[in-house]
């Protein structure tokens, strides 16, 4: 948590966003039942009951992945962050996509309360969205993937290096989208939707 970034509104927004992403991603993992529910503990975030991973590795993975995005988000380079569930062949089955847009030119002070209010609605909606999701196959894996507007140059920052280019397999057909929640309150616009393979997608 780089407090030094707090002076610019973008820095502040990005920090809140990243925090939120950490919680949201944990929620998704919890929602999908990737791990037994005992692997999570109840915590309070934005005055909501949320889940937090107990296992240090899991917690670390989510935390470091998301906080590794922070500098890119501040620069507005991250277009989407996705939680992708694969089957054993590495073909995605379901993807939870956060579409992010941070207004870089937004100058005035961000109202934390407003932002939190909007972000909270994601977590609420997410907790009741299980019916929208698919039942996952056995032996699936998941990962966090970020889509950048442009590939970042090699940077000295250690955090950044945690993110490596990837070539996750894509669907051949355009996927079906199920929007879960959208918010757009200056300077941040976040949309969460689920992607499923289209019906005409060739089955593996």
Which residues contribute to the site for other proteins (CB under 8 A)?
99, 101, 174-182, 184, 189, 191, 193, 195-196, 198
Instruction: Work out how close the CB of 51 gets to other proteins at its nearest, in angstroms, rounded to a whole number.
Output: 23
Checking DSSP bridges between strand 48-53 and strand 78-86, what pairing results, if any? unpaired
**CB nearer other proteins, residue 22 or residue 94:** 94
Instruction: Work out how close the CB of 121 gets to other proteins at its nearest, in angstroms, rounded to a whole number.
Output: 10
CB 79 within 8 A of CB 100: yes
**CB nearer other proteins, residue 137 or residue 179:** 179
CA-CA distance, 187 to 19, in Å (whole number)? Answer: 16
**CB nearer other proteins, residue 34 or residue 176:** 176
**CB nearer other proteins, residue 7 or residue 200:** 200
10 Å CB burial of residue 119 (0-12, 13-18, 19+) is: buried
CB 167 within 8 A of CB 193: no
Instruction: Work out how close the CB of 64 gets to other proteins at its nearest, in angstroms, rounded to a whole number.
Output: 28
Instruction: Work out how close the CB of 118 gets to other proteins at its nearest, in angstroms, rounded to a whole number.
Output: 12
Tokens of 63: 């935390």
Residue 184: strand, helix, or coil = strand
The C-alpha torsion from 102 through 95 and 164 to 162, rounded to 10°, is 70
CA-CA distance, 126 to 178, in Å (whole number)? Answer: 12
Instruction: Work out how close the CB of 112 gets to other proteins at its nearest, in angstroms, rounded to a whole number.
Output: 21
For 57, half-sphere exposure in the C-beta direction (CA atoms, 13 angstrom radius) is 1
**CB nearer other proteins, residue 90 or residue 174:** 174
């Amino acid at each position: 948590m780089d407090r030094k970034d707090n002076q610019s509104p973008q820095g502040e927004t990005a920090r809140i966003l990243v925090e939120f992403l950490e919680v949201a991603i944990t929620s998704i993992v919890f929602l999908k039942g990737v791990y037994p529910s005992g692997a999570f503990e109840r915590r309070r975030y934005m005055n909501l009951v949320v889940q937090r991973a107990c296992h240090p590795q899991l917690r670390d993975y989510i935390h470091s992945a998301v906080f590794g995005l922070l500098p890119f988000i501040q620069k507005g380079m991250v277009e989407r962050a996705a939680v992708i569930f694969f089957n054993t062949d590495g073909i995605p089955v379901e993807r939870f996509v956060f579409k992010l847009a941070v207004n870089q030119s937004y100058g005035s002070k961000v109202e934390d309360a407003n932002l939190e209010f909007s972000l909270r609605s994601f977590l609420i909606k997410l907790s009741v969205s299980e019916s929208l999701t698919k039942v996952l196959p056995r032996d699936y894996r998941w990962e966090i993937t970020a889509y950048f507007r442009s590939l970042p140059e090699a940077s000295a920052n250690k955090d950044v290096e945690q993110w490596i280019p990837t070539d996750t397999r894509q669907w051949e057909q355009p996927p079906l989208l199920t929007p879960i929640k959208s918010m757009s309150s200056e300077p941040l616009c976040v949309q969460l939707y689920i992607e499923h393979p289209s019906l005409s997608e060739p089955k593996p």
